[in-house]
Structure 1
Amino acid sequence: MCSNHPRRQQASTLVDSRLYFFGGGTDTIVSSEVWYLDLSSSFNISTPSWHSNVVMPVGYNFGTSCLSPIDNSTVFLIGGRTWIANTNNFSYTSSVYKFDSKVSQWTTPTINNFNSNFTSRSDIQAVIDNYGKIFIFGGSDYINPTITPIYNYYNDMNTLDITNMTWSTQTQSQSALTYIGYTATLLPNGLIVYIGGSSGSSTSVRVNNISQIQVFDTKFYVWSTKPISGSTIASRRYHSAVLTQDGNIIIYGGSTLDSSGKIVYVFSDVAVLNTNSWVWSVPSATSASILYTNNIYILDIQNYTWVTTFNIPTTTNPAKQTQSNGNSSTDQANNSSSNLYIGIGVGAGVVILAVVFFVIGFFIFKNQHKQEIIATPGTFQGW
């Protein structure tokens, strides 16, 4: 994320103390670059410690990524739109890539029973459980950017078991909504909470009611709807979400679009969903709406104020990572002695040592003394 290349629509994953960003769109191209933010030491937002890494096989945006709980070093890049590197030419290539962060190497895995309809699937959020099973719901495909775009919208639940690289697809009933541009957050009890986004078809798309939340049970493969009370939260899509260790999901930003797909309004608010009581609340923190940025923003969630410094705890032990979410969405790791929690944001953002990171680029920092959210390069208008 050098100073000349602000971007959005990237995927991101926290690996150890490195927060990786994959691809993303700029004003002119879809990038194949890989950058990481070094979170092993404190820094001021004016001088973040960015480092470049080996480039991706393709340009990449609108996808999602998950960290393997098996080795805590392999990143799976799922779906998204792929492009011939550093161009705006669409590439009909693999929908799954593996990145070995130990040796900075990309490979294309062989997958059993792959769903051919998943090729070029985008606008999705994946989560991964402790056993290495990735869950991806819905999404859309973008066929050709040079003609009138052709979109198909989906409501299937796709899973990839990374222990044996086997794919399976559960077709939903016609009554199940298609979902795009949502956030997905995996709770410790195995429920995936889907917030916001849009539903419909290629001819009619509507923003989902954020006070009626769809929940998927990964143990029994059944859906339910949770009516949400509390504060009124505007419906939106392409926002960010992270999970805290006390069962709250914090969302940030997002946008609304008109019938032609153009952005109508960009949100700068923060909202908190208590998944124990299913109640929305709204803290006072807001930030300016920005089209593109390569800045980093940190939110202290003890008092919901924006701060300028990311501070490493004075004593830390390696956190045992127990994936409980995946984007977009929120993998958690905890360490009982230092009380560190790691969260990973959807789509564009992720988390760090004791910091939860939002899709657009946020972290929530959590330790015995401080809780922070970090907003990193991305766009505050969504993806």
Structure 2
Amino acid sequence: MSRYSIFFFVFFSQLIITSPYTLVGRSGHTASYMDNKIYFLGGYTEKYFSGTNDFFYLDVSKPFNLDSTLPISDLSNDSRYVNAYGKGVSTICGPNKDTIFLICEVSEKQFYYRFINKKEWDMIPFPSTNQWTSAVCNKNGTYIYIYGRGSGVNNDKYMMKIINTTKTNWYLESYDSNIVPKYLASAILLPDGRIAYIGEIINDFRFNFRNICIYDTNDGTWINMNTSGIEPSPRYFHTAVLTQDGLIIIYGGGSVRRYYPVPDQISVLDTNVNPFNWSTPSKVNTAPSSAPFGGHTATLVGNYMIIAFGHYRNTTHDIVYSDQIHMIDVSEKNNYKWVKSFTPNNTYTIESASTTESENATKSPGAAHAAIIGGTTGGIATIIIIVSVSYLLYRRKRTVIYAPQAKHAINC
């Protein structure tokens, strides 16, 4: 094999080795936003219904398009000692806000993990078998407030526990569970240090939104607020994010018909007024047919609400685990847009509603895989052509330069 052939083989091999990370449809994972990266961990998949310990991140420091190869990196080798799970809660906390804290239940045992300084996972058995539904870090990163209910004989007992992140080992404080409200949903930390729980189960195991339970981390007290405005329809499986101007946006949710989406998938709670006020955006373009309504995560990056994975119903009404990421541009009040292009610093490329709808109507759950494969194949083909042409030009130039010397040698 010539040295040029060896170079070509090594070059092509490196292209294969560095091919993009392949996303797998999942539901029930966690998402943690830190250092311009959204870290995804765990979740149920069709192959592993009891959960996984998959670990990867989406780099949001650079622009990308959902129809192209996404800037995703695989970190699963770092999470090989994390127990596989499908239900858990996570938050970014610690004095420097540089640590992912994960609390999850596996086989009747509770585990508490720390992904320290973006280097390694630290596992500590957690003396509890609660099913936690939310985890919130306070403003200075010293405490994590986790909320949930017990399992087994304590199935109907709800409690809040507080983790002190400044201790060398895990440190637990708890409040009297008798004063903790029952059946609360997504938790949002407000700028004034209060935690707003967006949804309270009243009946039918669906969350209602007229009453908002609020926990004040400053003095450890609970209050109830009766909100005003257009109350969202009852649901479960929804997510919530907080914008920089004090609006809580909830997305998704299943209706009274189990595993069917509610009609009002997006609602907004204004926390700048007292009482908080609900409203519905006057304009929202048509959502992609593969947009999930449950089992997803929602992360706000700038003015983009990034909705990852989860489950949705396809055209034959079957439940499908999504392997895709979707985005909503929430920069314009009352005028939200499903978009495909992400650019840091809030520069947008908006897709028209008709184009988005028609493209997604025929896209299968594996379309993202096809886009990745197509993009990778096209890139490899282009590089192969460039290398081949360069090599031919090099040979031609070498022939022109060295031919006279060869002729002179023959005459000698």
- 2:139 aligned partner, one-letter code: N
| Match of residue 234 from structure 1 | 233
- 1:106 aligned partner, one-letter code: W
TM-score of the two chains, using structure 2 as the length reference: 0.63
For residue 265 of structure 1, report the CA deviation from its aligned partner.
Answer: 4.4
| Match of residue 170 from structure 1 | 175
1:245 aligns with 2:244: yes
Alpha-carbon contact 1:197-1:236 (below 8 Å) kept: no
| Match of residue 45 from structure 2 | 26
Which digits, 9 at most, give the CA deviation of each residue in 1:297-334, with x for residues without a partner?
11111131111100022xxxxxxxxxxxxxxxxxxxxx
- 2:259 aligned partner, one-letter code: I
Task: Give the distance between the partners of 2:209 and 2:30, measured in 1 at CA.
Answer: 24
| Match of residue 183 from structure 2 | 179
For residue 66 of structure 1, report the CA deviation from its aligned partner.
Answer: 1.3
Task: Give the distance between the partners of 1:306 and 1:21, measured in 2 at CA.
Answer: 22
Task: Give the distance between the partners of 2:132 and 2:260, measured in 1 at CA.
Answer: 18
Task: Give the distance between the partners of 2:196 and 2:146, measured in 1 at CA.
Answer: 12
1:299 aligns with 2:328: yes
In the TM superposition, 1:264-303 aligns within 5 A as 265-266=261-262, 269-277=265-273, 278-283=276-281, 284-285=283-284, 287=287, 288=289, 290=312, 291-301=320-330, 302=332, 303=335
For structure 1, the residue ranges without an aligned partner over 5 or more in a row are 83-90, 144-149, 314-366, 373-378
- 1:308 aligned partner, one-letter code: K
For structure 2, the residue ranges without an aligned partner over 5 or more in a row are 1-19, 293-311, 313-319, 351-364, 366-412
| CA gap 1:247/1:27 in 2 versus in 1, 3 angstroms | same
In the TM superposition, 1:1-383 aligns within 5 A as 3=22, 5-29=24-48, 30-46=51-67, 47-53=69-75, 54-56=78-80, 57-78=82-103, 80-82=104-106, 91-103=107-119, 105-109=120-124, 116=127, 118-119=128-129, 121-131=130-140, 132-141=142-151, 152-164=155-167, 165-173=170-178, 176-179=180-183, 182-198=185-201, 206-256=205-255, 262-263=258-259, 265-266=261-262, 269-277=265-273, 278-283=276-281, 284-285=283-284, 287=287, 288=289, 290=312, 291-301=320-330, 302=332, 303-313=335-345, 367=346
For residue 219 of structure 1, report the CA deviation from its aligned partner.
Answer: 1.3
Task: Give the distance between the partners of 2:66 and 2:212, measured in 1 at CA.
Answer: 35
Alpha-carbon contact 2:134-2:146 (below 8 Å) kept: yes
Task: Give the distance between the partners of 1:184 and 1:4, measured in 2 at CA.
Answer: 28
For residue 255 of structure 1, report the CA deviation from its aligned partner.
Answer: 1.6
Which digits, 9 at most, give the CA deviation of each residue in 1:117-142, with x for residues without a partner?
x32x335111001232000122354x
RMSD (Å) for aligned C-alpha atoms: 2.8
For residue 206 of structure 1, report the CA deviation from its aligned partner.
Answer: 3.2
Task: Give the distance between the partners of 2:262 and 2:47, measured in 1 at CA.
Answer: 22
Alpha-carbon contact 1:236-1:255 (below 8 Å) kept: yes
Task: Give the distance between the partners of 1:199 and 1:60, measured in 2 at CA.
Answer: 29
Alpha-carbon contact 1:231-1:282 (below 8 Å) kept: yes
| CA gap 1:206/1:92 in 2 versus in 1, 3 angstroms | closer
- 1:166 aligned partner, one-letter code: Y
**Structure of larger gyration radius:** 2
| CA gap 1:166/1:55 in 2 versus in 1, 3 angstroms | closer
| CA gap 1:371/1:218 in 2 versus in 1, 3 angstroms | farther
For residue 177 of structure 1, report the CA deviation from its aligned partner.
Answer: 3.3
Alpha-carbon contact 1:94-1:108 (below 8 Å) kept: no
| CA gap 1:232/1:39 in 2 versus in 1, 3 angstroms | same
Alpha-carbon contact 1:199-1:208 (below 8 Å) kept: yes
Alpha-carbon contact 1:7-1:292 (below 8 Å) kept: yes
Alpha-carbon contact 2:241-2:250 (below 8 Å) kept: yes
| CA gap 1:267/1:71 in 2 versus in 1, 3 angstroms | farther
For residue 92 of structure 1, report the CA deviation from its aligned partner.
Answer: 3.9
- 2:326 aligned partner, one-letter code: Y
Alpha-carbon contact 2:59-2:72 (below 8 Å) kept: yes
Task: Give the distance between the partners of 1:129 and 1:36, measured in 2 at CA.
Answer: 24
**Equivalent residue pairs, number:** 287
Alpha-carbon contact 2:237-2:254 (below 8 Å) kept: yes
Task: Give the distance between the partners of 1:139 and 1:128, measured in 2 at CA.
Answer: 19
For residue 2 of structure 1, report the CA deviation from its aligned partner.
Answer: 5.4
For residue 3 of structure 1, report the CA deviation from its aligned partner.
Answer: 4.6
Task: Give the distance between the partners of 1:297 and 1:151, measured in 2 at CA.
Answer: 38
Aligned partner of residue 79 in structure 2, secondary structure: coil
- 2:46 aligned partner, one-letter code: D
Task: Give the distance between the partners of 1:12 and 1:124, measured in 2 at CA.
Answer: 14
TM-score of the two chains, using structure 1 as the length reference: 0.68
| CA gap 1:24/1:266 in 2 versus in 1, 3 angstroms | farther
Task: Give the distance between the partners of 2:240 and 2:166, measured in 1 at CA.
Answer: 27
Identity fraction in percent = 30
- 2:138 aligned partner, one-letter code: D
For residue 67 of structure 1, report the CA deviation from its aligned partner.
Answer: 1.1
